[in-house]
Structures are given as structure tokens and as C-alpha cells.
């Protein structure tokens, strides 16, 4: 068994759910032009929703998607509609509504601490039918839970791209993301578009929750672990770019898994940042980013 091939496999599998976790962040940024600091908390909410669904019903984690996905969509939709919309309205004439960043930071703190209050600080893991299951290809190990994660990432990204490209709502989202004033003049209700975009971001966090639950633990500040990684991935791939988020995720996953075979894993974090800076130096808009003036 060649250790590097196994490391590449692991990197690809890990990178795919990193990419999926970053996908929601990039979509919300692409449309609202707001960096959502509550993204980690949305992931946490998604993970807790998935955790409780699986725990209470005993369903397969992917069956829980049926409930978790609409639930998180509504959650994101309401969060944007109730908390963020008033600020966006107040800053109607500003191209970059920076105050919203502060609001999302507040949402992050509130959600994390609410979870701490309700669920306690303990770590929770749920045993599912795919937990610890592996699939062998020759000598190489593919953990089933992560393999399904890879497939889910591909399917989710494909569906989101299709939705944005071919549906009417998708087109209105893209229009609003290009120029929200012009879109409004064309009869698009920009706040409804934002609600939907935020809903999609939260919905993807719910999908991430279902993917992670079979092999990962949940606790109230679990979002923080993924937060910084998601930001790196999104900027690396290009803010607002869906293929960028996936590519960024896989790059980070591969760096972590392959480099750590030659050095201690503490040092691989440094490599991730060096690659990150190098990419920004050569392509300031990120790998797949378009040069825009936002």
C-alpha cells in the first residue's frame, strides 16, 4: 500500500466536505456581498439539527436530510428576513453594507451561547449505520461516511449551479448579485432574493451537518473549528465562486493530508497559509474569482 496514494484519497475526501462547508459562505457572499461571520454557527445549527434527527428517530443520516434541509432553509430565510434585512434597508444606498458584518458577528455569539445554554458544553457523537464503515479498493481505505460526503458535495454543488442558472428564482438571484439596484428596477424583490440566498446558505450547512454527523462530534462551538478554514477556502477559490469553494476545499484537504506525512501536522497549517498567500499574490481575486469592484 502506497501511503501517498492513501493520503491523496483522504485529502480528497476531507477536502470535499471542507468545500461543502465553505459553499454556503460563498453563496451568501456572492449575493448579498456580506461576509457572514455567523457561518460557523449555521454549521453548528445544521449539525445539531442532523444530530437530533438521527438521535431521536434512528434514521439513516441521509434520510434526515428530508427534514433538516427544509428546516435549515427556513431558519436561514427567517434569520435574514428578521435580523439582517432591517440593516440592509437602512443601508440602501451603500454598496458594501459593512454594519451587517457586525450583526452577523452578534448572531454568531448568540447562536453559540444559546446552544451552550440548551445543550451544554459536552461533545456528542451519534452511532449511525455508516459510522466506522469502510469500503476497500485494493489496499486503500475509503471510509463510507466520507465517500458519501464526496458524492453529496458533488450533487449539492451541481444542484445549486443548475438552480442558479436555469430557474427563474436562480436568475433573479444572479441578477441581484450583479447589481441590486438595477435588479430592483427590473421588478425583482431584492430582499426576497436575499432571504432565499441566506436560506440556501443555511440549507447547505444542514447538508454539511448530515454529512459530518456519522463521523464527527457536535458541540456548541464546533463552528469555530471550521470557520477559519471556510474563510481561507472561500478566498482561495475566489469570493462568491461555487467551483472556487470546492477547489479551495480540496486544495486545503490535500495539503493537510499529504504534507503531514513528511512533517508534523502542526506545520501543515503553515503550508496552507503559505499557499493561500501565494495564490492571492498571483491571483488577487482567488483561483476562480472574477475581477469585480466589490
Partner 1 sequence: MKKGEYYYRGCVGVLAAIVMCALVVGFESSSYAADENVVKIGNILPLSGPSASVGIQGQNARKLATEYINKAGGIKSLGGAKIVNIWTDSKGDPNVGVTAAEQLINTDKVHLISGAWNSAVTYPSTQVAERYGVPYIVPVSVRDTITERGFKYTFRIAAKDSWWARDQFLFLEEQKKLTGTKLQTIAFVYENGDWGTGMRDQWSVLAKEFGYKVVLDEPYPSTASDLTPVVMKIKTRKPDVILLTSNAADAILLTNTMATMKVKAKAVIGTGGGHADPMFRKNTGKNCEYMFDVVEWETDLNRPEIPDLNAEFKKRYGYDLAGESVDAFASVYVIADALERAASTDPKKIRDALAATRLCVGDSRLGIDILSYDCVEFEESGQNKHAGIILVQFREVDGAMERVTVYPGKAARKGFPAVFPMP
Q: Which 18-77 residues touch partner 1, going by CB under 8 A?
A: 18
Out of 153, 234, 257, 272, the residue judged to bind partner 1 by CB under 8 A: 257
Q: Which 264-283 residues touch partner 1, going by CB under 8 A?
A: 264-266, 268-269
Q: Rule CB under 8 A: say whether 128 interacts with partner 1.
A: no
The contacts of residue 233 (CB under 8 Å, 6+ apart) are 18, 19, 21, 22, 245, 248, 249, 251, 252
Quick one: cell of 76? 436561514
Question: Helix H segments across the chain?
Answer: 3-32, 39-57, 65-79, 85-90, 99-119, 144-166, 168-178, 180-185, 190-212, 222-237, 242-259, 265-282
* Closer Cβ to partner 1, 66 or 141, answer by number: 141
Q: Rule CB under 8 A: say whether 293 interacts with partner 1.
A: no
* Closer Cβ to partner 1, 148 or 226, answer by number: 226
* Closer Cβ to partner 1, 253 or 286, answer by number: 253
Q: Rule CB under 8 A: say whether 129 interacts with partner 1.
A: no
Helix 190-212 and helix 39-57, axial crossing angle in degrees, nearest 10: 50
Query: What is the C-alpha separation between 288 and 290, in angstroms, rounded?
Result: 7
* Closer Cβ to partner 1, 198 or 219, answer by number: 219
Q: Rule CB under 8 A: say whether 224 interacts with partner 1.
A: yes
Is residue 38 within 8 Å of 107, Cβ to Cβ? yes
- The region of 94-102, 131-139, 183-191, 231-239 touching partner 1 under the rule CB under 8 A is 131-139
- The region of 63-71, 157-165, 181-189, 209-217 touching partner 1 under the rule CB under 8 A is 209-217
* Closer Cβ to partner 1, 135 or 162, answer by number: 135
Q: Rule CB under 8 A: say whether 121 interacts with partner 1.
A: yes
Q: Rule CB under 8 A: say whether 124 interacts with partner 1.
A: yes
Is residue 163 within 8 Å of 31, Cβ to Cβ? no
Q: Rule CB under 8 A: say whether 219 interacts with partner 1.
A: yes
Is residue 131 within 8 Å of 145, Cβ to Cβ? yes
Q: Rule CB under 8 A: say whether 215 interacts with partner 1.
A: yes
Distances in Å between the Cα of 170 and the Cα atoms of 30, 84, 90, 163, 238 are: 13, 21, 25, 5, 20
Query: What is the C-alpha separation between 155 and 158, in angstroms, rounded?
Result: 5
Compute how many residues bind partner 1; rule: CB under 8 A: 38
Q: How far is the CB of 187 from partner 1 (least distance, A)?
A: 43
Distances in Å between the Cα of 249 and the Cα atoms of 52, 63, 226 are: 27, 25, 11
Out of 73, 260, 279, 286, the residue judged to bind partner 1 by CB under 8 A: 260
Query: Residue numbers of the site for partner 1 (CB under 8 A)?
Result: 3, 6-7, 10, 14, 18, 116, 120-125, 127, 131-132, 134, 141, 143, 215-217, 219, 221, 224-226, 229, 253, 256-257, 260-261, 264-266, 268-269
Amino acid at each position: 500500500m502506497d501511503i501517498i496514494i492513501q493520503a491523496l484519497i483522504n485529502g480528497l475526501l476531507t477536502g470535499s466536505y471542507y468545500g461543502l462547508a465553505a459553499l454556503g459562505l460563498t453563496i451568501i457572499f456572492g449575493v448579498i456581498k456580506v461576509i457572514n461571520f455567523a457561518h460557523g454557527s449555521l454549521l453548528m445549527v445544521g449539525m445539531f439539527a442532523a444530530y437530533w434527527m438521527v438521535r431521536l428517530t434512528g434514521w439513516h443520516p441521509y434520510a434526515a436530510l428530508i427534514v433538516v434541509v427544509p428546516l435549515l432553509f427556513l431558519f436561514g430565510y427567517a434569520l435574514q428576513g428578521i435580523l439582517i434585512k432591517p440593516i440592509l434597508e437602512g443601508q440602501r444606498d451603500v454598496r458594501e453594507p459593512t454594519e451587517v458584518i457586525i450583526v452577523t458577528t452578534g448572531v454568531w455569539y448568540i447562536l453559540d451561547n444559546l446552544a451552550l445554554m440548551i445543550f451544554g458544553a459536552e461533545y456528542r457523537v451519534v452511532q449511525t449505520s455508516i459510522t466506522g464503515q469502510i469500503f476497500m479498493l485494493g489496499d486503500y481505505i475509503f471510509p463510507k461516511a466520507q465517500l458519501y460526503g464526496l458524492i453529496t458535495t458533488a450533487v449539492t454543488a451541481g444542484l445549486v449551479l443548475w438552480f442558479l442558472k436555469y430557474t427563474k428564482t436562480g436568475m433573479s438571484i444572479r441578477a441581484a448579485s450583479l447589481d441590486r439596484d438595477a435588479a430592483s428596477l427590473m421588478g425583482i424583490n431584492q430582499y426576497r432574493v436575499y432571504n432565499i440566498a441566506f436560506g440556501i446558505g443555511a440549507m447547505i450547512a444542514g447538508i454539511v451537518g448530515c454529512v459530518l454527523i456519522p463521523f464527527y462530534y457536535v458541540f456548541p462551538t464546533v463552528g469555530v473549528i471550521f470557520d477559519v478554514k471556510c474563510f481561507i477556502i472561500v478566498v482561495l477559490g475566489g469570493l462568491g465562486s461555487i467551483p472556487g469553494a470546492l477547489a479551495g476545499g480540496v486544495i486545503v484537504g490535500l495539503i493537510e493530508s499529504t504534507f503531514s506525512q513528511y512533517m508534523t501536522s502542526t506545520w501543515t497549517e503553515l503550508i496552507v497559509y503559505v499557499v493561500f498567500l501565494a495564490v492571492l499574490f498571483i491571483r488577487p481575486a482567488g483561483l476562480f474569482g472574477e475581477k469585480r469592484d466589490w
